[in-house]
Structure 1
């Protein structure tokens, strides 16, 4: 699913005038100026930022439309799931913007810009040439977020996996960073970053931009997020330019590059899609093949005895590791939970049953969305 898109789309439209920001030096000379962005709100109050670039001489029409925001949330009101068809998202977003700001030229009834036409019950305001151009990927991408959901058995396993990734993984950026239940790799990088979190927990916590709209509160979307992990890849302008140079000898990354066969430095040929890009970057996370999942019982233990319990559970003789007073103090506290650390733990087979290979999460097989299909973009 595409969760964020910053793009420059070549389409002639009425100039969006929201003012300018001008920098003036100490002598009163203009150093630079830029167009201020305007806010376009979707039907569910989800907003996307827009502005006009490359103004023509008459200052009535612009040639390039700049968009920055979450097109999935803008169009359907939520980003629980969606499509990774970048060109379709861009076209539907531009069409919605044209409707709201009336960017088409109503003076040319039979000319290049037709005010309104109807297709499949939906109002389409861009002409056929523009529609075909956008759907063919004739626009530049400056930033893109790609994410997929993966399913585990229960929500406790999801939380445990997130904790395990925070402790046991790293990338070339360094060790993972855990912040309020979200794990980051390359959080402050200007090239690419990955984060892992529970969408279910995010929706429960709420906060600005992280709740379902009122119209969808009673929908099955929240329940769908239970027991699911979300990995999110962010590719920024510098990294996208690097990919464009490597695969296409181009200065900008075009949406038309997707669904194109490419060959990497190792001679492997693959189809460049949002999913294949996602998989290649997720594979850069170094992790142990197996990471112990914290049992549900240990999640209820006091923090001060949890380390002792984990040592005992994994087969260590805790008498040899911790001091005698600490051993008896922890033994007394753990006995309240039905755990006796003076006895050997369960057999090795039972330990192994609590070890789940992390690699199965990273196969990039999105969870099925059939149960919430009516809430997604067609």
Structure 2
């Protein structure tokens, strides 16, 4: 991509595509604010689930779509044509979506789960990109690449722009162990009574899933018990369906094409999740937030920025850190507010704004968030100490290795 007069920092048109001006010389006042540390794709927290990514290649590519949606005006003329992505189904309701209009290749899907009976443990971001490129290679489509970097000026601020692939959604996931199935249940009940920042808290099902920020254009955070989630899919486990005109696409594990995944293995895995009290935290970072973090280009993708956001979202886990043996140990002014909240009173109408937020801040360490409706389960007279720890996959867990394909061969 040539640096044009409109996108050039200096107004000249003779810069080469690979030329990167020194932003500190061009914008000395902004030099201290500019992130000069290199971006990284190395993932230190959890693994990735869903990824949405696309790249323009300049045309001359085969069209790859599952039909199209036409918009026709009143005169019967076709105004626009929108190609539909090809949906390839995997096991346990997993699916990936691929589309190419002859110029732009787009991929959407959970590649960590695709073609596997489960995704209790999965792959890092860079491994997922490698697996996605393997699939594109089998379809005769070009891989997603970083491209070249150049600088542009956006509203008086320097911006690093890449010619390669653009990322529009990333889901970061991490597993935690609570110690037992009972602890996992109580932990989820605790989360149901919390509020992250000012975003809405919602409980789904029988309290096995709690989410924060549903419908947000920036980020969406949810936590759920993995054991019950696995059991919901066991009875309906089936082999992936192969699309007739996509031969070989599901050959990641050929055995999955011949017979359904073993229920014995999934039941064993679900039992293990219950035994250790496995809960999963999942952060969906959407296009708006990726752009704000400077992570919307594959070339400039900085996993550290997303991990910081993930850790912020997980701060809701550690609110109830105070050692309280009985509810009567609360200070009198907080005990009165807690009793009103427990009874379902509308506290914003009974307390002044300043008092309401001050009491909320003081009650949060006890696991009580008066900003949301009282939970049907009252605060226990005795506190249950639940210690979250990292989850390590058992020795018998099946996680296929990722291989890189070059010209139809494995390396």
Alignment TM-score, normalising by the size of structure 2:
0.55
Which of 84, 95, 104 is 1:47 aligned to?
Answer: 95
Deviation digits for residues 160-192 of structure 1 (CA, Å, limit 9, x no counterpart) = 111111113332214x21111211101121221
Structure whose residues are more often helix by fraction: 1
In the alignment, does 2:151 pair up with 1:103? no
Partner of 1:88: 127
Match for residue 342 of structure 2?
Answer: none
Residue 145 of structure 1, aligned match among 171, 177, 184: 171
Alignment of 1:95-134 (within 5 A): 95-99=134-138, 102-103=139-140, 130=143
Counterpart for residue 183 of structure 2: 157
Change (3 A) 1:25 1:291: farther
Q: Distance in 2 between matches of 1:207 and 1:313?
A: 46
Aligned partner (choices 233, 241, 259) of residue 283 of structure 2 = 233
Q: 1:170 to 1:291 in 2, by over 3 A?
A: farther
Equivalence for 1:369:
393
Contact (CA 8 Å) 1:46, 1:74: kept in 2 or not? Answer: yes
Change (3 A) 1:208 1:179: farther
In 2: Cα distance, 1:195 partner to 1:218 partner: 28
Aligned to 1:179: 204
1:188 aligns with 2:215: yes
* 3-state secondary structure, aligned to 2:281: strand
Partner of 1:166: 192
Does the Cα contact within 8 Å between 1:169 and 1:287 map onto a contact in 2?
no
Cα shift at 1:47: 2.5
* 2:43 is the alignment partner of 1:16: no
Q: Which has the higher contact order (CA 8 A, sep 6+)?
A: 2
1:291 is displaced (CA, Å) by 7.9
SS of 1:290 mapped into structure 2: coil
Looking at structure 2, the residues matched to 208 and 188 of structure 1 have their Cα atoms a distance apart, in angstroms, of: 30
Counterpart secondary structure, 2:311? helix
Deviation at 1:142, TM superposition (A): 0.9
In 2, the alpha carbon distance for the partners of 1:239 and 1:81 equals: 25
Shift of 1:373: 4.7
**Structure 1 unaligned spans of 5+:** 56-62, 105-125, 245-251, 261-270, 294-309, 322-349
Give matches, 1:69-88, under 5 Å.
Answer: 69-84=109-124, 86-88=125-127
Q: In 2, distance between residues paired with 1:45 and 1:286?
A: 29
Matches within 5 A, 1:242-257: 242-244=292-294, 253-257=296-300
Structure 1 residues 43 and 230: CA distance shift in structure 2, 3 A: closer
- 8 Å Cα contact 2:226-2:280 kept in structure 1: yes
- How many Å apart are 1:83 and its aligned residue? 1.6
CA distance in 2, matches of 1:8, 1:132: 10
Once the two structures are superposed, what CA deviation does each residue of 1:8-45 show, in whole Å capped at 9, x if it has no partner?
14567532143221112334344432111112345888
- 1:38 pairs, out of 86, 103, 106, with 86
Tell me if structure 2 keeps the 8 A contact 1:147–1:233.
yes
CA distance in 2, matches of 1:148, 1:371: 19
Does structure 2 retain, via aligned residues, the 8 Å contact 1:257–1:272? no
Cα distance change of structure 1 residues 155 and 82 upon mapping to structure 2, 3 Å threshold: same
Query: 2:146·2:299 contact (CA, 8 Å) conserved in 1?
Result: no
Q: Deviations over 1:239-273 (max 9, x none)?
A: 211212xxxxxxx7023334x5xxxxxxxxxx726
Measure the CA separation in 1 of the matches of 2:234 and 2:384.
Answer: 34
2:108 maps to which of 68, 76, 99: 68
Is the CA contact 1:43–1:74 (under 8 Å) kept in the aligned structure 2?
Answer: yes
- For the 8 Å contact 1:4–1:70, the answer to whether it is kept is yes
CA contact (8 A) 2:168 2:286 kept: yes
Structure whose residues are more often strand by fraction: 1
Query: Are residues 240 and 131 of structure 1, via their aligned partners in 2, closer, same or farther at CA, if it must alter by over 3 Å?
Result: closer
Q: What residue number does 2:29 align with?
A: none
Query: Aligned-pair distance for 1:90?
Result: 2.1
What is the CA distance between 1:80 and its match in structure 2?
Answer: 1.1
